[in-house]
Amino acid sequence: MKELRVLSPTAILGYGFPKESFARGLDKDPDLIAVDAGSTDPGPYYLGAGVSFTDRAAVKRDLKLMINAGQDREIPVILGTAGGAGGAPHLEWCVEIVKEIANEDNLNFKLATIQAEQDKEFILNKFNQGDISHLPSVGEINEEELKASTRIVAQMGVEPIIKALDMGAEVIVAGRAYDPTVFASLCIKEGYPAGLALHMGKIMECASIAANPGSGSDCMFGTLRDDHFLLEPLNPERKCTTTSVAAHTLYEKANPLQLHGPGGIIDLTGTEFEQYDERVVKVSGSKFIESDEYTIKLEGAKKVGYRTISIAGTRDPIMIKELDHVIEVVKETVRDNFDELDEADYELLFRIYGRDGVMGDLEPELEVLSNEVGITIEVVAKTQELANTICSFARSTMLHYGYPGRVATAGNLAFPYSPSDLKAGEVYEFNLYHLLTVDDPCEVFSVEITDYR
Residue 39 located in a structural domain = yes
Residues 269, 352, single domain; the answer is no
Residue 81 located in a structural domain = yes
pLDDT in tens, 208-218: 999 999 999 99
For residue 453, pLDDT beyond 70: no
Residue 426 located in a structural domain = no
d(CA 223, CA 283): 10
DSSP per residue, 84-137? GT-SHHHHHHHHHHHHHHHHHTT---EEEEE--B--HHHHHHHHHTT-EEE-TT
Residues 228, 325, single domain; the answer is no
Residue 274 located in a structural domain = yes
Residues 63, 196, single domain; the answer is yes
What percentage of residues in the chain have a pLDDT greater than 70? Answer: 100
Long-range contacts of 145-149 (CB under 8 A, 24+ apart): 145/302, 145/431, 145/432, 146/120, 146/300, 146/432, 147/120, 148/302, 148/431, 149/120, 149/300, 149/301, 149/302, 149/431, 149/432
In terms of Cβ atoms closer than 10 Å to its own Cβ (0-12, 13-18, 19+), residue 329 is: middle
CA 44, 48, 51, 52 dihedral sign is: positive
pLDDT in tens, 408-424: 888 999 999 999 999 99
Residues 221, 86, single domain; the answer is yes
pLDDT in tens, 56-81: 999 999 999 999 999 999 999 999 99
Residues 100, 134, single domain; the answer is yes
For residue 225, pLDDT beyond 70: yes
Do the Cβ atoms of 183 and 201 come closer than 8 Å?
A: yes
Residue 308 located in a structural domain = no
- The 8-class DSSP code of residue 144 comes to H
For residue 277, pLDDT beyond 80: yes
Question: Considering its fold, how many domains does the chain have in total?
Answer: 2
Residue 305 located in a structural domain = no
Residues 97, 231, single domain; the answer is yes
Residues 327, 193, single domain; the answer is no
Residues 139, 71, single domain; the answer is yes
Sheet containing 287-290: order of strands = 258-261, 264-267, 287-290
* Nearest partner of 220 among 19, 6, 12, 59, judged by Cα: 6
d(CA 198, CA 223): 13
Residues 287, 366, single domain; the answer is no
Residues 23, 87, single domain; the answer is yes
What's the pLDDT score for residue 187?
98
pLDDT in tens, 351-402: 999 999 999 999 999 889 899 999 999 999 999 999 999 999 999 999 999 9
Strands (E), 105-228: 110-114, 132-134, 151-154, 171-174, 220-224
Q: Which domain holds residue 264?
A: 4-299+432-451
User: 272: phi > 0 → left, psi -120 to 50 → alpha, else beta; which?
Assistant: beta
Residue 418 located in a structural domain = no
Residue 419 located in a structural domain = no
What's the pLDDT score for residue 400?
95
Mean pLDDT of 206-234: 97
